[in-house]
Chain A
Amino acid sequence: MSEQLKVPTMAEFMAEGKQPEILFWVGSAGSYDDRAKKISKAFVKVLHKANVDFAVLGSEESNTGDVAKRAGNEFLFQMQAVMNIEVLNGYEIKRIVTCDPHSFNCIKNEYPGLGGHYDVIHHTQYIQELIDNGRLTVEGKTYKGKRITFHDPCYLGRANSVYDAPREVLKNTNATLTEMKRHKSTALCCGAGGAQMFKEPEKGDMDINVLRTQDALETRPDIIATGCPYCNTMMTDGIKAKEKENEVSVMDIAELIASS
């Protein structure tokens, strides 16, 4: 797979003396994790389709510090935050979009106290905006009639009360949308948050992602839709644990929109 995508950097924009409409904050998962990189690429395709003038920071982007903060390392978080804010303010960034609800929450809620004030939105909100403004049209053929259930990421849903945008966007796929018994404000975590992604779980009788996958499988889905790279990994692992990987796929909303 070596299709080349045009992903301009802020440095390039700066050199031309231009400002993009929006900065795409790729995040660490979106930059390095093999599964999440596909989500980044799908989202870039959506941005191109809608003719969005966007840029990334590239090698000037660093980890938001979110995961360090949740692990209890406030020092490391603030160091990361202050460095990122310096870069973002240097480029006079006004608006940021990201596919990672953890970056979204962190930059939106925790950077302002350290001097970083931006309009931060999640990619599902941005896709909805593009559709509403008529900049993006979704054919809605590929997934017509498929059953899709959406898993709410904690840091998008409960943490920031964004429940509707992902669901509104999904309607454009013409799929049949089903809800798990625990959804929106009562959605069960996938098990990755609070730095759990990077450690073994404590002793218990099952893994959280398996329990959440059970919730999803009860809706008999063809596709589990996610809006977070970490949820994606956890649900994919859950599907494998349940040996359902041939029947059910886990896809990010950006991927579903890019391919429908």
Chain B
Amino acid sequence: MEYLPNILFAIILILGIGYFAKNIKKLIRNIKLGHEVDASDHKSQRWANMARIALGQSKMVKRPVAGLLHIIVYVGFIIINIEVLEIIIDGLLGTHRIGQEFLPASVYGFLIGSFEILAVLVLVAVIAFWLRRNVIKLRRFMANEMEGWPKSDGNIILYFEVVLMCLFLIMNATDTSFQLAGSGNVVSQFMVPWFNGFSPDTLHLIERTAWWLHIVGILVFLNYLYFSKHLHILLAFPNTYYGRVEPKGKFNNLDAVTAEVKLMMDPDADPFAAPAEGKEDEVPAKFGASDVMDLNQIQLLNAYTCTECGRCTSECPANLTGKKLSPRKIMMDTRDRLEEVGKNIDANNGEFKEDGKQLLGDYITHEELWACTTCNACVEACPVSINPLSIIMDMRRYLVMEQSAAPMELNNMMTNIENNGAPWPYNQMDRLNWKDE
């Protein structure tokens, strides 16, 4: 019976990590529904981007207030989680504060002391974040796409962090032997008087409860990630690695189109030629994207990485002038549809069953797509290298090349280019007239 807590701990740990691993596998499978894309180039630049943008938070601080608060929570989160290592070892071996035994008192005291200070800073930052969302009501958190679940999601994450930090401090404050040792209790010593008058048994009970709730809370939070916008704490790293390394203005040239154009321009091509042996059954490439399976894997990773901060939308010229387009909504819609497709696959033994829906139209409207000026403000603003513009462009391509559904004025413009090599109906031979006017 004396090993019951150890066994219970091991079971909780395995369940917690196992369920998370299962969902991560699902996430990877969903991302792989997209086209493969070659990102084996610019390796050193990609690593540097990841180090600078994700690890170094370089883009977060473009907005100093939010950036600073975020760095506190980020650093706090990573460093305080070192404590989790001790909790896991203690839980499995049945020890108590194994670090205290094996580390010199000064080192252990320094570590726990810094955790305690960070815990307080994180609490302050998280409360500031909550106020920005719920009291100050910053415009970018109040957009239409943030109503309902996205808003609750944002707050739930903050409540999680408040509870975890409080549990950590309570656990330390009620740990009599830790307080007696008197090293590292820089914050919790001031909480000790709150528990004056409690019997040693009650104190121990509170300490144990806080300890268990802390580790269970962390495991629940870990598993909450997959269902939340908070996945960015993990995916920001691969996402910044796979982020674009070329000038933002460079849009990809579609290879499928290049093949057709080459054929069209080739004077020796036989227009009546039969398809080559074995090629009869090949499905012609679809131009552009109407659903998530038409996007590439980096675009789908982008969608899972988005934490809905709305910096993109707050810089978007179309959104700033009241148009429906919101780059953040493009990313949220892409993820929602991808999740829907994923669930469909789960429910149908691994095969996607046509559900009569798609990303274009059912989630993202034509009006949103046509409002984009392709100015790259959203791409520039994203702190984790997400590219909403590439999705907008792929969907425009589908609209124009598969459906001929461009706005009428654009059709006129394109007809002009086809006929006379200019977007206006002027004669090609008059191209140099300006010099004499």
Contact = CB atoms under 8 A, between A and B. Distances in A.
Contacts of B235: none
B371 A4 contact: no
A202 B422 contact: no
Interface string B403-435: 000110110111001100111101011111111
Interface string B255-271: 00110111011000000
Contacts of A70: 251, 374, 393
A58 B432 contact: yes
Given A5-B435, A58-B431, A192-B373, A63 B409 contact: no
Interface string A45-75: 0000000000010110111010111111111
Nearest to B409: A199
Given A71-B410, A159-B248, A32 B426 contact: yes
Of the listed residues B249, B257, B421, the one surrounded by the most CB atoms of chain A closer than 10 A to its CB is B249
Nearest to B394: A72
Contact of A1 (B318, B429, B437): B437
How large, as a class, is the contact surface on chain A?
Answer: 35 or more
Interface in A173-215: 185-186, 188-189, 191-196, 198-208, 211-212
A41 B371 CA distance: 33
A66 to B, nearest CB: 10
Contacts of B412: 198
A7 B376 contact: no
Contacts of B262: 82
Interface string B170-199: 000000000000000000000000000000
B28 interface: no
B323 interface: yes
Interface residues of B, number: 69
A208 B321 contact: yes
A63 B422 contact: yes
A104 to B, nearest CB: 9
Contacts of A76: 414, 417-418
A88 B305 CA distance: 43
Best-buried of A155, A191, A196 by chain B (most CB within 10 Å): A196
B320 interface: yes
A31 interface: yes
Contacts of A192: 373
B380 A198 contact: no
A207 to B, nearest CB: 7
Interface in B226-255: 246-251, 253-254
A208 B321 CA distance: 6
B395 to A, nearest CB: 8
Contacts of A72: 288, 393, 396-401, 406
Contacts of A154: 373-377
Nearest to B436: A4
A21 to B, nearest CB: 19
Nearest to B262: A82
Most buried by A among B315, B325, B421: B421
B380 A186 contact: yes
A212 B133 CA distance: 28
A113 B323 CA distance: 34
Nearest to B389: A194
B364 to A, nearest CB: 13
A110 interface: yes
Contacts of A259: none
A73 B400 contact: yes
B380 A110 contact: no
Contacts of B430: 32, 59
B382 to A, nearest CB: 12
B436 A2 contact: yes
Nearest to A79: B261
A74 B254 CA distance: 7
A136 B280 CA distance: 62
B410 A189 contact: no
A242 B436 CA distance: 33
Given A76-B414, A78-B257, A155-B249, A30 B434 contact: yes
Contacts of A61: 421, 431
A159 B398 CA distance: 23
B351 interface: no
Contacts of B258: 78, 113-114
A137 interface: no
Interface string A72-106: 11111011101000000000000000000000010
B367 interface: yes
Contact of B435 (A41, A189, A198): A41
A207 B322 CA distance: 9
A142 interface: no
Contact of A71 (B247, B413, B426): B413
Nearest to A188: B317
B370 interface: yes
B324 interface: yes
Contacts of A62: 421-422, 428
Contact of B424 (A5, A32, A203): A32
Given A159-B250, A195-B413, A202-B324, 9 more contacts: A31-B433, A37-B434, A65-B417, A70-B251, A186-B377, A192-B373, A205-B322, A206-B321, A208-B317
26 contacts: A32-B426, A32-B430, A61-B421, A62-B421, A63-B421, A63-B422, A69-B251, A71-B413, A71-B414, A74-B288, A82-B265, A105-B249, A109-B251, A154-B376, A158-B375, A158-B379, A159-B248, A186-B315, A186-B377, A188-B377, A193-B374, A199-B370, A199-B407, A202-B325, A202-B367, A206-B321
By Cβ-Cβ distance, the 4 closest A-B pairs, closest first, are A159-B249, A72-B396, A194-B374, A205-B322
Interface of B: 246-251, 253-254, 257-258, 260-262, 264-265, 287-288, 315, 317-318, 320-325, 367, 370-377, 379-381, 393, 396-401, 406-407, 409-410, 412-414, 417-418, 421-424, 426, 428-437
